[in-house]
Amino acid sequence: MRTVCCITALLLSVALVPAWAEDAKPTTPAKETAVSLNDTKVTNQDGKEVTIGSLQGKKGLVIFQYPKADTPGCTKESCGFSEENPKYEEKGYAVVGLSHDTPADQKAFKDKYKLVLTLISDPKGELATALGLEPHKRQTAILDASGKVTQVIKTVKPVEHPADLIKELTK
């Protein structure tokens, strides 16, 4: 039984590492066979309930999770995604920020930095878990247009991640 567990653990740990993430932990195609999350309801920065599907781009959705709004690393990453957003849209991807902050905190963060992105609140980490992310960690999930998670990036650098990820998505 122990051999089976070790082999299973080894197989689960094998994944693709993006070329741009030299020191990154492996990305995983976690939940690739999961049901669509498009009907999942979330609360945006305005306190409005929306579905994941309503946030989708033509090709998919990038959900970057950050630990806390208006902190240095989270601000750099969020501003980077906001600046790179036209490139994501051009490639058919929408980008959404996710944290455990309240909608009011998300709204203040968005307004302060003039972010063009939708920010969603996940106070209990339920969406993060459904996406295959560890709640409250800086990680990213990529969903295809059908709302299925196709990739989870467990380790990112806040400054480089927005520009590097769009390059990776367009390969």
pLDDT band at 34 (very low <50, low <70, confident <90, very high): low
**What pLDDT, in 10s, does the model give residues 125-159?**
999 999 999 999 999 999 999 999 999 999 999 99
Q: Which amino acid is at 153?
A: I
Distances 125 to 88, 113, 121, 131, 135 between C-alpha atoms, Å: 25, 24, 9, 10, 5
- The active-site residue, picked from 5, 6, 74, 79, is 74
φ, ψ dihedrals at 41, nearest 5°: -90, 135
Find the angle CA(127)-CA(171)-CA(58) to the nearest 5 degrees.
Answer: 50
Closest to 66 (Cα-Cα) out of 97, 106, 102, 103: 97
pLDDT of residue 77: 97
Rounded Cα distance, 44 and 29, in Å: 26
Q: What is the mean pLDDT of residues 22-31?
A: 42
The letter for the amino acid at 61 is: L
Domains of the chain: 16-169 (3.40.30.10)
| DSSP sequence for 55-97 | H--SSEEEEEE-SSTTSHHHHHHHHHHHHHHHHHHHTTEEEEE
Binning pLDDT at 50, 70 and 90, where does residue 35 land?
A: confident
pLDDT band at 170 (very low <50, low <70, confident <90, very high): confident
Flag whether pLDDT at 14 surpasses 80.
no
Does residue 5 have an active-site annotation? no
For residues 28 and 15, the answer to whether their CB atoms sit within 8 Å is yes
